[in-house]
Amino acid sequence: MVESDALISVMGLSYRYPRRGVVLDQVDFTLKKGERVALTGPNGAGKTTFLHLLVGLKKPKAGQVWAFGAERNVEKEFVEVRARAGFLFQDPDDQLFCPTVLEDVAFGPLNLGKTRNQALEIAKQTLASLGMAGFEERITHQLSGGEKRMITLASVLAMEPDVLLLDEPSNALDTQARQRLIDTLLCLPQAMVIISHDGDLVTQLATREVTLVDGKLVDQRR
């Protein structure tokens, strides 16, 4: 039974890779409205794999995924999930594909049916809200790692997703940009899952923390 305030919920979710073996072993998890859940755990524990399963980028070996009020099994059903769950990939180079920053950030809104002018306006506003005004005409592949990280976040936020799935969002950010990111995320209304090895970010941001160890998800007392 999925709770009424659940946005995304998994039950008995299991996954294994050939050679690596089991990474997720009958995991149960629910993301509710208003939550900012930190997903922690050692390198290679399966945190990224877990987020990929939530949005259908991988198919579980067993278990169920519920998202936005419906069970999701096949690719067609996950298309809506990916439109509503903004995914910030661990590596910004997997996410940036347009020549300029403005085009990249406007791509999502355009794809969601906004006019070109509306999409460009949303992109400019989103960049400004992240302290990235002035980057509009920069060439994406020439940006630094930290700049790319902020631009990918802008691309995700410009689509106004219902949920955010953030894979190590503070990677490559300097102290100022990192704090700006934390302050920005704190002000957002969306529920989110945040994979992070950054203990201070987790302390500042998370409303609860779950840790993936040996394929099991363990609730942390905070």
Query: Footprint of ligand ATP on this chain (CB under 6 A)?
Result: 17, 19-20, 23, 41, 43-49
CB-wise, 47 or 72, nearer to ligand ATP?
A: 47
CB-wise, 159 or 165, nearer to ligand ATP?
A: 165
CB-wise, 120 or 206, nearer to ligand ATP?
A: 206
CB-wise, 180 or 197, nearer to ligand ATP?
A: 197
CB-wise, 25 or 121, nearer to ligand ATP?
A: 25
The HSE-up count of residue 99 (CA atoms within 13 Å, CB side) is 1
- Residue 187 CB, shortest distance to ligand ATP, in Å, is 27
- Residue 17 CB, shortest distance to ligand ATP, in Å, is 4
DSSP 71-90: EE-SHHHHHHHHHHEEEE-S
Sheet containing 208-213: give its strands across.
85-88, 163-167, 191-195, 36-40, 208-213, 216-220
Mapped onto helix, strand or coil, the DSSP state of residue 130 is coil
- Residue 45 CB, shortest distance to ligand ATP, in Å, is 4
**DSSP letter assigned to residue 103:** H
- Residue 165 CB, shortest distance to ligand ATP, in Å, is 12
Helices of type H across the chain: 47-54, 75-84, 101-111, 116-129, 145-157, 175-187, 199-205
Contacts of residue 19, Cβ cutoff 8 Å, sequence gap at least 6:
none
- Residue 207 CB, shortest distance to ligand ATP, in Å, is 21
